Amino acid sequence: MNTKKKTNRFSYIFLALTLALYLFVAFTSPDKAILALGKSMQILQQVVPILVIVLLLTALMNILIKPQTISKYLGNSSGIKGWFIALFGGVISHGSSYIWYPVLQDFRLHGARNGLIIAFLYARAIKLPWLPMMISYFGWGFTLVLTVYILIGAFIQGLISDGILSRNEALVPEDH
């Protein structure tokens, strides 16, 4: 069985387990199950439209952008430009992290460095739309200090993971 089939099988097992959990909760405390279902539907409504756009964008990039281009901007020789793209991209990206996983995996398959992907994901901890809210809860000082440390942390994690993960790591989940 190839890796992709194994992954799909695991997805369906995970879905079946979640459904079983819902059934169990529905029998033991029906009001909690209804509450959980309502919250899940809210999240789904928020996530699906943006996910569809992101997947369309991924497909378009896949067709139009050559692997050499991604390799140039996010690959081994991307230098400071690569770090800037990863950190800035992470800060301005929207939506839940899991929406970005397929896009990022695609970048990896086209030669993007693991360190830059990890830096991108960590820089997403800076939530631009929520910054005013954070300032109102914790103040300017806290928000500024935390934001700077997150960027430094994202950069250091990228460096560390570049040392730990091999370049062929991206080929593990799918048979490309």
Interaction residues for other proteins, span 16-55 (CB under 8 A): 17-19, 21-22, 25, 32-33, 35-41, 43-44, 46-47, 49-55
- Which member of 67, 71, 76, 146 binds other proteins (CB under 8 A)? 146
Q: Burial-class residue 134 by CB neighbours within 10 Å (0-12, 13-18, 19+).
A: middle
At which residue do the structure tokens 């103040």 appear?
A: 139
At which residue do the structure tokens 């690959």 appear?
A: 75
Rounded distance, CA 85 to CA 80, Å? 9
> Of 81 and 133, which has the nearer Cβ to other proteins?
133
**Which amino acid appears at position 18 of this protein?**
T
Contact between 78 and other proteins by CB under 8 A: the answer reads no
Query: What is the Rg, in whole angstroms, of the alpha carbon atoms belonging to the chain?
Result: 19
Least distance to other proteins, CB of residue 105, Å: 5
- Which member of 57, 77, 84, 167 binds other proteins (CB under 8 A)? 57
- Which member of 10, 23, 84, 167 binds other proteins (CB under 8 A)? 10
> Of 11 and 68, which has the nearer Cβ to other proteins?
11
Contact between 125 and other proteins by CB under 8 A: the answer reads yes
Rounded distance, CA 52 to CA 62, Å? 15
